[in-house]
Amino acid sequence: MSIRALSLTLLCTVLLGGVYFARSPFAGSAAVFLDGAKTTLAIFSASAVLSTAIAFAAGLGRLSPVRPLRWLAIGYVEIFRGTSALVQLFWLFYVLPLFGPRIEPMTAGILGVSLNVGAYAAIVVEASVRAVPKSQTEASIALSLGEFTRLRRIILPQAIRIMIPPFGNLAIQLFKLTALVSFIGLSDLTYTAYQLNQTTYLTVEVFTIILFMYFAIGLSITILMKLLERRFSRGHAGATA
């Protein structure tokens, strides 16, 4: 779907959601929903940065000629891809403090989501680097570029352009995973909806409003990633319309 179509869909979603909210029993409680949205967006933003850093570290680690480093990266990816994200979050928040200091809910939430999505993103990083034509590496070697310079100036700029589309999908996955932090008591959108439902019993109204909010935020993230994809695709065939 084009950016224009996504933007139109977002506009319609905001308008319809606004009308529904204005006519709902919660019309005077916008601050409650906005507070939940702020928490969700804060977790998403911090997790996006951290998971990207983890993805590059683990993805490049899987390509490392140093065996212990490569095995560590492979082990991390397989463990966090092969176990439940919710169990990972519970382990960080409830189990890990038994062996050390207690982790704050916000820290545990960001770390749990980041480690899970970072494992999937690491595979994208690895595959994207491998997808760069070997002739590029051979040419940079012929120019006597060091390994770090070769990676930074030749390989990664081309690999990042390949990474952007799958990273867009992972960004949406990360956003949806933020709902799990409600299980450790963080007042995000999902936790806010649960609390309101418990006190008002207006299940349809509460979760319909939250549905509109999640969809609008998810569309905004998709548009942002499409713009990023178009920016990195500029000057190359197949740029996003």
For 59-73, give the DSSP string: HHHTT-SSHHHHHHH
Six token digits for residue 168 = 């867009």
Please state, in angstroms and rounded to a whole number, the distance separating the CA atoms of residues 92 and 47.
Answer: 15
| Span 18-44, average pLDDT | 93
pLDDT at 155: 81
Q: How many domains does the chain have?
A: 1
145 within domain boundaries: yes
**What is the CB neighbour count within 10 angstroms for residue 176?**
13
Strand ranges in the chain using DSSP code E only, listed in sequence order:
none
50 within domain boundaries: yes
Query: Would you give the DSSP letter of residue 132?
Result: S
Please state, in angstroms and rounded to a whole number, the distance separating the CA atoms of residues 225 and 214.
Answer: 17
Q: Which domain holds residue 58?
A: 3-233
Please state, in angstroms and rounded to a whole number, the distance separating the CA atoms of residues 228 and 241.
Answer: 12
CATH of the domain at 93: 1.10.3720.10
Q: Among 81, 97, 94, 105, which residue's Cα sits nearest to residue 173?
A: 81
241 within domain boundaries: no
Triad 41, 217, 207: Cα angle to 5°: 95
171 within domain boundaries: yes
14 within domain boundaries: yes
183-195 per-position pLDDT tens digit: 998 889 999 999 9
21 within domain boundaries: yes
Six token digits for residue 57 = 């570290």
239 within domain boundaries: no
pLDDT at 40: 94
pLDDT at 241: 38
54 and 77 Cβ atoms separated by less than 8 Å: no
Six token digits for residue 122 = 């690491």
Please state, in angstroms and rounded to a whole number, the distance separating the CA atoms of residues 120 and 184.
Answer: 23
Q: What's this model's pTM, rounded to 2 decimal places? A: 0.88
Q: Which amino acid is at 16?
A: L
Q: Which amino acid is at 144?
A: S
240 within domain boundaries: no
Q: Side-chain half-sphere of 97: how many Cα atoms within 13 Å?
A: 11
CA 12 from chain centre, in angstroms, equals 24
pLDDT at 235: 52
140-199 per-position pLDDT tens digit: 766 666 667 777 777 888 888 889 989 999 999 999 999 999 999 888 999 999 999 999
